[in-house]
């Protein structure tokens, strides 16, 4: 028995964030997080509001559900949460995905290491800036990124920092300075991840994107930087399961 706490399985959709933005992908969202970010857009995975949606699933059942939803139309699965890195036994799911020639992407915040990180094709580590209310344990983050130096050429690792304000921006610069060899993405923060007024939301997010671009483009410290929106929010607003 190696069941995993699953909050939702959805797709196919596009990966809206980070280094594989635009990639056609299925999503598996696990339940539970060791953080509680002030602005978490997936708080239902950890704040109790989604507890009735949590299903304990065997990896085979997750694979069956992915096939039911995605048929033969996908070759990429993104695992997010919550923090999937809380789950020691996630390797069972990764194994089945690999056996079926599926590329695997993981979203995690860099607070926990798992040996199965080495099996992830596209690993995004997203340490949290001050506006989240969380404190980064840089010793753990150092260890994770140090461990990953032993990875194979086939595995991509990137950092992604969500930026809401000037303080967050300085934090992102600090992260880049500490790990200059890891590709880093700045991501627009969504201040209102609950509103259903898409027009207002999108217009605010566009302003925020422009603000972030303007800052980064004028900054000599950030020569090799990528600045991205959360693309899915510009298409579907705060809708869940897309
Ligand atoms: C919901 S988290 C789940 C994975 C993992 N716990 C993490 O934070 O990386 C997925 C991504 O969404 C980002 N995110 C969460 N809330 C956001 C918001 N309000 N605006 C922009 N990005 C957000 C996180 O920073 C993270 O990069
Ligand atoms: N389309 C889409 N792209 C995403 N990239 C990261 C997501 C996440 O919640 O981890 C996410 C999500 O929820 N939807
Ligand atoms: S670490 Fe990720 S899932 Fe956890 S609270 Fe923060 S944004 Fe949400
Ligand atoms: Mg999301």
Task: Answer whether 213 contacts ligand 2 (Cβ < 6 A).
Answer: no
Q: How far is the CA of 41 from the centre of ligand 1 (A)?
A: 7
Q: Note the ipTM here.
A: 0.99
Q: How far is the CA of 220 from the centre of ligand 3 (A)?
A: 30
Nearest CA to ligand 3 atom 3: 82
Q: How far is the CA of 33 from the centre of ligand 3 (A)?
A: 6
**Mean confidence (pLDDT) of the chain:** 98
Closest ligand 2 atom to the C-alpha of 14?
A: 1
Task: Tell me whether residue 136 is in a domain.
Answer: yes
Q: From CA 219, how far away is CA 234, in angstroms rounded?
A: 26
Q: What is the DSSP string of 32-97?
A: --S---TT-TTGGGTSSTTGGG-EEE-HHHHHHHHHHHHTTS-SEEEEESS-GGG-GGGHHHHHHH
In this structure, what token pair is assigned to residue 47? 């704040």
Task: Tell me whether residue 133 is in a domain.
Answer: yes
- Percentage, residues of the chain above pLDDT 70: 100
Q: Report how many domains make up the chain.
A: 1
What pLDDT score was predicted for residue 141?
99
Task: Tell me whether residue 242 is in a domain.
Answer: no
Check pLDDT > 80 for residue 1: no
Task: Answer whether 124 contacts ligand 2 (Cβ < 6 A).
Answer: no
Q: How far is the CA of 127 from the centre of ligand 1 (A)?
A: 10
Q: From CA 58, how far away is CA 39, in angstroms rounded?
A: 31
CATH of the domain at 160: 3.20.20.70
Closest ligand 3 atom to the C-alpha of 33?
A: 4
Q: From CA 109, how far away is CA 84, in angstroms rounded?
A: 9
What pLDDT score was predicted for residue 83?
99
Which residue's structure tokens are 């995690």? 108
Task: Tell me whether residue 152 is in a domain.
Answer: yes
Q: Write out the residue range of the structural domain in which residue 98 sits.
A: 4-236
Task: Tell me whether residue 190 is in a domain.
Answer: yes
Task: Tell me whether residue 241 is in a domain.
Answer: no
Mean pLDDT, residues 165-191 taken together: 98
What does the pLDDT look like over 53-80, one tens digit per residue? 999 999 999 999 999 999 999 999 999 9
Ligand number, closest to the Cα atom of 27: 2
């Amino acid at each position: 028995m190696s069941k995993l706490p699953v909050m939702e399985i959805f797709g196919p959709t596009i990966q809206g964030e980070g280094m594989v933005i635009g990639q056609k992908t299925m999503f598996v969202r696990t339940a539970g997080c060791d953080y509680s970010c002030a602005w978490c857009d997936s708080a239902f995975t950890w704040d109790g509001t989604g507890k009735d949606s949590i299903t304990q699933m065997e990896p085979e059942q997750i694979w069956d559900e992915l096939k039911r939803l995605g048929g033969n139309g996908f070759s990429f699965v993104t695992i997010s949460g919550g923090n999937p890195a809380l789950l020691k036994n996630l390797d069972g799911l990764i194994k089945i995905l690999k056996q079926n020639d599926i590329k695997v992407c993981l979203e995690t915040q860099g607070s926990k290491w798992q040996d199965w990180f080495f099996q992830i094709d596209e690993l995004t580590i997203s340490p949290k800036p001050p506006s989240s209310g969380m404190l980064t344990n840089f010793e753990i983050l150092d260890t994770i990124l140090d461990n990953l130096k032993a990875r194979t050429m086939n595995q991509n690792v990137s950092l992604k920092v969500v930026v809401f304000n000037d303080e967050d921006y300085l934090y992102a610069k600090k992260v880049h300075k500490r790990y200059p060899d890891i590709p880093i993405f700045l991501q627009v923060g969504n201040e209102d991840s609950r509103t259903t007024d898409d027009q207002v939301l999108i217009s605010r997010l566009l302003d925020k994107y422009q603000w972030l671009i303007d800052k980064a483009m004028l900054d000599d410290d950030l020569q090799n930087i990528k600045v991205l929106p959360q693309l899915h929010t510009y298409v579907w607003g705060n809708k869940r399961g897309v």
